[in-house]
A and B are shown apart, each in its own frame.
Chain A
Amino acid sequence: MRGYAGKFLEIDLTTQKTKETTFSEEVLRSFIGGRGLATKILWDRLGKQWEAIDPLSPENILLVLTGPLTGFFPGGRVCVSGKSPQSNGVIGSTVAGEFGIDLKCAGYDGLIITGKAPKPAYINIIEKEVAIKDASRVWGKEGKETLKILTKEARKELSEKFRQYGELKEPSILYIGPAGENKTRVAGVMAKWSHAAGYGGYGGVMGSKNLKAIIAKGLGPLPEVANMERVTELMNKVCKKCYKEELWRRWGTGAAGYSVGKRTSSEPIRNWQEEWHDEKSYAVDKFEQRLWIKQYWGDFGCPTTCLKIAMPKTGEFKSAITDNPDYEMQAYLGPNLGIFTPEHNVYLSAFIDDLGLCGIQAGNVLGFAAELYQRGFLTKEDLGGIDLKWGNVKAFAELAKKIATRDGIGDILAEGSYRAAIKLGEMKNADLLPYVVHEKGVAIGAHGIRSTKDYTSNISYACSVQAGDHTSVAALPADKRGEMPTIVEDSGVYCSFNTFAIDEDLTWDFFEAVTGWRITHEEWYQNSGLRILQLQRALLLLGGPDCKWDSEKDDENPQRFYEPLPSGPYTGKTTNRRTFEESKQEYYRDVGWDEKGIPKPETLRKLGLQDVEARLKVLHILA
């Protein structure tokens, strides 16, 4: 098979045994890699007892998968998946960097990690040599320190093993910070310093397996492709298109912290109590002129290099380094917490990165806690003495640390805002759900729906199989927009930010040049893509063990999204329930679900998913 290294590596951390495995061409053509293949693997291996499996137990499977286009399509990423401790479904969470490239160059398309190491461990893959090593010396260490130690040691090992080769490039490393080690549901799988596979909560899954890091180093080439000349031509074509995208090139999403508030009125402000601001102190020029120390930063093969590196050079927050921060971090660790000072935002982003927290999930739960403090549900005493006033950046950092280490109130907040709201609600005897902005346990990305001026819509999150994930929103019509095109990128495993100027034909051209398969629009939207969507949907509905989603009740926007916007040019605007219901039903019809949002038996049968039908029936999800 072209574009694939041809082998996947299975690692059982309990028995410390490894073996190689393969998938048939039929499976790979249908499920591609990354998110699609993850869904297939999880359904096949865990589907029968899905609702009983605790995502943070050794029974869960951690998947780290590339796709055939990884390394070829500009902008390399790798997909992390498993049963999500946030949604209890499957989330394909991708992270940028060279890890996927290194893995393929080492001869593997992906890792299937099961069990739990008896003590802190890391996986070391140097070419074909796989070892499970003791990680106790880095356990408990924060991100930058972890990366420094592991890079040094791995380089030393490389230079000993391959002495005759001369200098070899450093290996690629995925790791977790304390937030992952302590099995919080808001931890990311980290790469470099600030790159995170955040959605899904797979940092906590790694922690539950006692797995601190995965190191990969390959010396070989990327796999053979069907037509290298054509691949090269298409790479250049995509790059040329991306070079013209000046907005993303120059500012990344870093101009949005101001614009999404001011222009589209869809930025979380003080836990989404507002979505509009006109704080010029927070405009991109302040970040750029005062804090950005690298204007263009990116990962393997990327023409856009939308990341920046930011660091305050003076003052109290001197030397806090983070990338960008991108829009999500600008918003969630900025206005969402009442912070409108770029230095404070960079400091908090760097702090959260270092703890291995996902900035979106952590920013959401911090904002939720601050609103409870504002409303008197949480007291200073509850918070261990923290004065969690809006804008108090040090207080937020202190609470973030408590979350990452599950200290005091942090132990509850580490469960993410939705689960924390239930627990705190019981403790305080109050309904705290109105203050949670989540979708099926996943904090919603920083793009609101009330103003209708952003790219999102009323069904974006409510109907998404990845729930709150702003990079995988449901949209109409389903055969052109929304999740199925996203599944292409997440399964081919490359960066969606390099696809904005790419039309569908060019995408399939690229797949054909790499794999030799001519996938058609019909094949994807009526067959393969739709099948992945149904499987993800089914697993999301199976859910469990701690939360189960009833689509009739839970395919719903957070309550806050029905409150009128209180400020800005769209004051008074809110989500219309009737229109939402109509869009939702239209979407259900588009993707072959019944009026309750359950995949119809005929939809499943047409896709060869009779086993899914049977499971949904046994559990009375399907009548």
Chain B
Amino acid sequence: MASKKRIWIVRDYLKCSGCRKCEIACSLFHEKKIWPEASRIRVFMLVPGAEVPHMCVQCDDYPCVKSCPTEALSVNSSTGAVQVDEAKCTACGICISACPGKIPHLHPGNNRILICDLCGGKPECVKVCQEGKWNALSTIKRVGWSDSLKAYCRTPEEITRELVVNLYGEKGEELI
């Protein structure tokens, strides 16, 4: 359904500096404000050092889109990103429960759902991360192994549980 030029944002959590410039860039682009909780990408830090930039992975089967009772969610045909029809969204939160990673979240200022729209194909978050040479986020051509990409759709807690072990070894298990 989507074009062959689709991108995917690779997330290399171990390289995330925790600078949260992605949140700043995302909210400036979409909200014209610096608004961490209204950013479509949010850096969770449940354990210091284990920063998790958390945003939509564009699952092949789009459980969020399927779950929406008002057809407010659809898939952008060129980017594959989930798009929100704000007029139709009732902020019921059903898509949040449908998402294996609980990635969609409500806009804290008005009642509608927030999901990464890939900025139309040139994500601002990736841009700032690359400018700073952290390389925690980078864009690749979306690979065919979509089941593996979907596997990245997990809650901040689940991701953190594994990251802390990678970072801190056995000690990591005690920290969360």
A residues apposed to B, CB below 8 Å: 71-72, 98, 101, 105, 144, 147-148, 151, 155, 164-170, 192-193, 218-222, 228, 232, 235, 239, 243, 293-294, 296-303, 305, 309, 311, 313, 318-319, 321
Contact = CB atoms under 8 A, between A and B. Distances in A.
A243 B20 contact: no
Contact of B156 (A164, A167, A221, A299): A167
Interface stretch (B40-48, B68-76, B137-145): B40-48
Interface in B144-176: 155-156, 167-171, 175-176
B102 A299 contact: no
B82 interface: no
23 contacts: A105-B36, A165-B105, A166-B93, A167-B102, A167-B105, A167-B155, A168-B105, A220-B37, A222-B34, A239-B131, A294-B14, A297-B17, A299-B20, A300-B19, A301-B24, A302-B17, A302-B19, A303-B19, A305-B134, A309-B48, A319-B168, A319-B169, A321-B168
A296 B18 CA distance: 9
Contacts of B126: none
Of B48, B54, B170, most buried by chain A (CB within 10 Å of CB) is B48
A193 to B, nearest CB: 5
A222 B35 contact: yes
Contacts of A221: 27, 31, 33-35, 38, 109
Of A166, A232, A243, most buried by chain B (CB within 10 Å of CB) is A166
A235 B15 CA distance: 22
Interface in B82-101: 91, 93, 96
Nearest to A164: B93
Contacts of A243: 131-133
A101 B24 CA distance: 12
A490 B42 CA distance: 28
B120 interface: no
A301 B25 CA distance: 10
Interface in B28-68: 28, 31-38, 42-49, 54
A220 B19 contact: no
A105 B24 CA distance: 13
A169 B37 contact: yes
A318 B170 CA distance: 10
B20 A98 contact: yes
Contacts of B171: 311, 318-319, 321
A219 B17 contact: no
Contacts of A165: 93, 105-106, 108
Nearest to B102: A167
A311 B50 CA distance: 14
Contacts of B134: 296, 305
Contacts of A301: 19-21, 24
A296 B42 CA distance: 18
B123 interface: no
Contact of B170 (A170, A232, A303, A319): A319
B155 A219 contact: no
Given A168-B105, A299-B19, 4 more contacts: A169-B44, A192-B48, A300-B19, A305-B17
B80 interface: no
B170 A169 contact: no
A294 B46 contact: no
A131 to B, nearest CB: 20
Contact of B48 (A101, A193, A219, A296): A193
B18 A228 contact: no
Interface residues of B, number: 50
B46 A151 contact: yes
A294 B167 contact: yes
B170 A299 contact: no
Of A101, A222, A232, A296, most buried by chain B (CB within 10 Å of CB) is A296
A221 B107 CA distance: 11
A71 B21 CA distance: 11
A607 B104 CA distance: 54
Contacts of A147: 48
B49 A220 contact: no
Of B24, B34, B169, most buried by chain A (CB within 10 Å of CB) is B34
Contacts of B170: 319
A144 B49 CA distance: 13
A299 B102 CA distance: 25
A168 B131 contact: no
Nearest to B21: A301
Contact of A220 (B35, B43, B93, B106): B35
Given A239-B132, A243-B131, A298-B19, A220 B45 contact: no
Contacts of B27: 221
Contacts of A144: 175
A305 B175 CA distance: 23
A148 to B, nearest CB: 6
Lowest 7 CB-CB distances: which A-B pairs, in order? A166-B105, A221-B35, A319-B171, A219-B108, A305-B17, A166-B96, A221-B33
B17 A296 contact: yes
Contacts of A170: 44-46
Nearest to A148: B175
Given A221-B31, A222-B33, A305 B167 contact: no
B160 to A, nearest CB: 10
Nearest to B52: A169
A301 B36 CA distance: 11
Contacts of A218: 37
A155 B156 CA distance: 12
A164 B19 contact: no
Contacts of B109: 220-221
Contacts of A321: 49, 168, 171
